[in-house]
A and B are shown apart, each in its own frame.
Chain A
């Protein structure tokens, strides 16, 4: 909604335009950062640059998290002020649930897989 309409609204704190549109500069910064943050992980994996797979995996995941933050800031225009902070609150709540669901599932199912492997000879069990 345009600026004029937002000000014509009965009270400004309910202005429809809780989200900013960003600027050309912001979009370009976000785009360049995203390109770099995408290219480096692909290069690491496709080129087999590092000897350690585990280290490569951690670096790739770190790049993904940074790129998600870049997208949130430069493309989705997240900030703590939009909608009096409610978008940020919803995001934080979602992130907490996502982290619990992901880490919980992986943790529980990993242990389930390890501990429930079929034994070939049950008589040798204590």
Chain B
């Protein structure tokens, strides 16, 4: 720590101040900052969950969750996202061991599971829209598509980010900046899985029970 300078003149109370800003290593606050971003994202999802909670029963004489949701498909989707979480964990473990090839391989596997998740979700959405359960049909369907669609959009951008980082790691290796980025994406990816727990419980399972 830099020495505090004593600047006191006669008669005045002593004033202590730091002569210069102490050094912060580059990226020292990135993880905390990214965590704060995730928390703000969490608030956004909380609002979307609240909207679904309020409007989830307004079917406008249209289809109810019980008529629409295929829980087998949702279970498969949940498995995909859970598997992608553990494979991302393996990528982080490979990163700690400085193994570029294993990191890239596990990231690729994670991306494939993410794509499988997205594919299944898009198939579900296409099926719903095909049978007339569009977002315009009822308040329940509007809030459903908003909540689940926002989560899907996050996963999409997560995959874009993942591919970007794979290119970065492939070109520059596991340098400090790339490690920091991989850790941020790790938090983002696991956070999306946490949100999905809320989605499959609150929207799908409780919706079918309703």
Contact = CB atoms under 8 A, between A and B. Distances in A.
B30 A16 contact: yes
B82 interface: yes
B82 A90 contact: no
A91 B110 CA distance: 26
A67 B82 CA distance: 11
Given A38-B79, A61-B201, 10 more contacts: A16-B180, A21-B92, A22-B92, A45-B71, A46-B71, A71-B193, A76-B190, A98-B46, A101-B50, A106-B50
Interface residues of B, number: 55
Contacts of B165: none
B4 interface: no
Interface of A: 1-2, 5, 9-11, 14-16, 18-19, 21-24, 27-28, 30-31, 34-35, 38, 41-42, 45-46, 53, 56-57, 60-61, 63-64, 67-68, 71-72, 75-76, 83, 86-87, 90-91, 93-94, 97-98, 101-102, 105-106, 109
Describe A's contact surface by its main secondary structure. helix
B93 A72 contact: no
A106 B47 CA distance: 11
A18 B31 CA distance: 8
B39 A91 contact: yes
B201 A60 contact: yes
B24 A14 contact: yes
